[in-house]
A and B are shown apart, each in its own frame.
Chain A
Amino acid sequence: MDSIETANPLLDLTQGVRSGRERLARWMAFICAAVTVLITGGIITVLLVNAAEFFADWPVWDFLTGTKWSPAIEPVEYGVLPLVCGTLIITAGSAIIALPLGVAAAVYLSEYARPRVRAVVKPCLEILAGVPTVVYGYFALVYVTPGLKSVFPTISTFNTLSASIVVGIMIIPFVASISEDAIRAVPKSLRMAGYGLGASKFSVIVRIVIPAAFSGIIASFILALSRAIGETMAVTIAAGQTPRLVNLLNLDETFLRPAETMTAAMVNIGMSDVTGDSLAYRSLFAIGLVLFCMTFLMNILGSWVTSRFREKYE
């Protein structure tokens, strides 16, 4: 009894010191995690407050439906449609390149490549997303466009085709890696059942594996295109700064001429000497808000679909 009583306070003391440190560690870690929530709150607040000030001077409706973007030259016009048009052209162009290539690469990696080949090929594919976008812009301007000139002699120095090509190359790894996850998640038993019925490898892949992984492949498309929409430097350098609303079906007009994306317009304003008090400065946040909403919705949708396919086969 005695020994326990004398031992107890000592034990309590060390535990007190320990639990104090324990609690401190836990709280510090929690604060770090909470910072990420504050960051999201910060982004939304900064965008909303400044965009609200912009919309007080320039009605939201005029912004969303205006067909002319001219932030610096009088009379100023802030119609976002030409910028959305530019973003759509390049996103669509890069999709034509990246989606089929990415899915085919995913099929190769999951269905054909041996583990050792895969261990080499996969990091090589990831490099495509690791090259800085300003470098891709330079490639497009200095090498891709002159190369395209031999095929399309009328192509402009700044054009959406070269921008689409480099953005497409850049987002291949996003499509490939998420699609590959989805294809790998398809149970082996489904493939075996296909082979058991005498199906060829082609039939098993095209008729069984890809349909089974379809939702995951769609998720990879959504997430990759969200990257393409937010891409900035490559499209600014390669596609130029000419806001245009074009008939998208006229392919020459669409792909061989310059355009301006939402992100490029932001760079354009950021590079000019606009002060914190001008309408042009606040329009940055209005475009930023549109961009944030578009990518946010796509990311939410993409990760929702991804979590669905992960659950499906587990």
Chain B
Amino acid sequence: MTVSQHISATTISHAGKQTGHVKDWVLLIVCLLSTCIGGAALFTLLGYVLVDAAGWLDWQFLTSTTSRFPEKAGIFPALVGSVYMAAMLLPAAMILGIGAAVYLTEYARANWLTKFININIANLAGVPSVVWGLLGLGLFIQLFGMTYGTLLVGSLTMVLLILPVIIIASAEAIKAVPDSLRQAAYGVGATKWQTISRVVFPRALPGILTGTVLSLARALGETAPLIMIGVPTAVFSTPSGPTDKFTTMTMQLFSWSDYPQPEFQYGVLAAGVVTLLVVLLLLNALAIYLRHRFQNKHE
């Protein structure tokens, strides 16, 4: 009786140990697979796109306007439109974004107003992009009477859209500057503004630039807000001024996705997707470069 009890007890505890061990391994494998599966799916899809884009992504594609005929279609006006939009939105978004971040981190006292502004920015970062398009439509076109689908309206709308992202990234970068540096600056008689502009800002710049470049990539990937403000899907010339109509790579891709011919679906579109992703990849590489370069300088 006692012996059999003892035996069963040991077998149970032994078995328990084994299943515990097996469970440990199963959990590790499940977690590892889950981590990889999304990336694996994305890389598979990217592989398909690259294969399909081969033969379509050439100089002719990059320098032509769009066309009904797949072999003549190109992305040039859309590529230029995206670049112009980025160039126009960048100064305004940086000035407003960094200014707000400096206020919130350096000047603002811990009171209800500051708390309110912070919560507000966090919420703005979660507003769906299509709603930003409605803001652009209601504010710039309805209220200010600007024209549908111009470079100016597109850029202004995108400034508002990426502003919360730039503020959050810049504030993080400024907060990461050690307080001892500020104290040292005050100690040698610097004023608040001198401390911010000559001590804190240079130190925070790499983080700010990284955040800005990444938010620029976000702006270049947006489509829905541009549809709301009436950006045309096909333009045949590059914009010559802020009040000209323009289109972006994302809008061009969206309009091509409506073409049923396989030459578009598995050719022109793939080439367009690769072009867009290469531009975004370059921006991300720039962000990484900026971070490393400045980090090394300070260390």
Contacts and interface: CB of A to CB of B under 8 A. Distances in A.
A201 B27 CA distance: 9
Nearest to B141: A276
Interface stretch (A31-39, A58-66, A242-250, A251-259): A31-39
A109 B34 CA distance: 11
Contact of B227 (A45, A124, A271): A271
Given A131-B277, A200-B24, A201-B24, A33 B100 contact: yes
Interface of B: 20-21, 23-24, 26-28, 30-35, 37-39, 41-42, 45, 48-49, 95-100, 102-104, 106-108, 116-117, 119-124, 126-135, 137-139, 141-142, 160, 163-164, 167, 191-193, 196-197, 217-218, 220-224, 227-228, 230, 233, 250, 253-254, 257, 265-266, 269, 273, 276-277, 280, 284
B280 A42 contact: no
Interface string A122-151: 001101101111110111011110000000
Interface residues of A, number: 86
A21 B228 CA distance: 42
A271 to B, nearest CB: 6
B167 A36 contact: yes
B191 A22 contact: yes
B257 A237 contact: yes
8 A-B pairs closest in CB distance = A230-B128, A32-B99, A46-B138, A132-B221, A104-B34, A29-B103, A108-B31, A200-B20
Given A36-B120, A127-B42, A230 B131 contact: yes
B128 A30 contact: no
B227 A267 contact: yes
A138 B48 contact: no
Interface string A202-232: 1101100000000000000001001101111
A267 B224 contact: yes
21 contacts: A33-B108, A34-B117, A36-B100, A36-B124, A42-B135, A43-B127, A104-B30, A104-B34, A112-B31, A121-B35, A130-B280, A138-B257, A142-B266, A226-B126, A230-B129, A230-B130, A233-B223, A266-B228, A292-B131, A295-B127, A295-B131
Nearest to B265: A142
Given A33-B117, A36-B120, A43-B131, A125 B38 contact: yes
Given A267-B224, A285-B134, A169 B24 contact: no
